[in-house]
Structure 1
């Protein structure tokens, strides 16, 4: 493996909050990362409002001037967007990889829980069949004077299974 192909270290590697953030936290983080984009959007809105006011006043010269400013502000915003996207691309890629790993880990944990549940049910069923076989052969339980019938054993087993499922 080429040692130069490894991804560069990120400033977010040790920051677990970077990977576990809400929508508002993400918005504020993105604004801090790329402050020129909201600035460009604000200037664009300012230019549109100025153009609207000058149109109402009937000042065609100022209207054209504000529309030119709007065009420049939009071009600036678009350039800031592209530059920011290129700059932060590696961290976004790393974030997607991390999210895939987290999803895979959760899927594996769910699968492991399901397998444990199946193993528990299998063990309970084997235990039940063994008790039933001992009961039918006249095993230890009858010798001790236990007079439960097979139907009562089945009812007890159903209740035990319900309780074990409720605990989970």
Structure 2
């Protein structure tokens, strides 16, 4: 295996530096939006987030529990993005969260749309989740995922020394 001095565009785990930057940005965004939801009234998105969780759970989870659940999911994703960068579950958690975060576009059109194709500020806030989906496709390439192409992402390749113990090796057994 070549040293990082010979491959300056790769990070310590062998992934391109850009992937690390994308992971950092994802974690920052999730922390930035999730942490305020732990405190009632601190997030401008709190009312819409709570109403969405209430509607998606048919009222089973409402009020403060809905707010705290949203906060915990968002902060949990932020931590997972940084702590377990090769975990196959992370992209699915993010995509599940984004699906819920985008639900108000359909559930509350009076809040998210001014007219057909013209989003309100809340709608624009939600639509930006397309960038999160694109970032997940870059930062967490999955084997067999349609966006991967034919090459293997360096973060998933095995080096001779870790062939038996790496998470990527475990996926191929």
Question: What TM-score, normalized to structure 2?
Answer: 0.28
- Compare relative contact order (CA 8 Å, sep 6+) and give the higher one, 1 or 2: 2
Question: What TM-score, normalized to structure 1?
Answer: 0.28
Per residue, is there more helix in 1 or in 2?
1
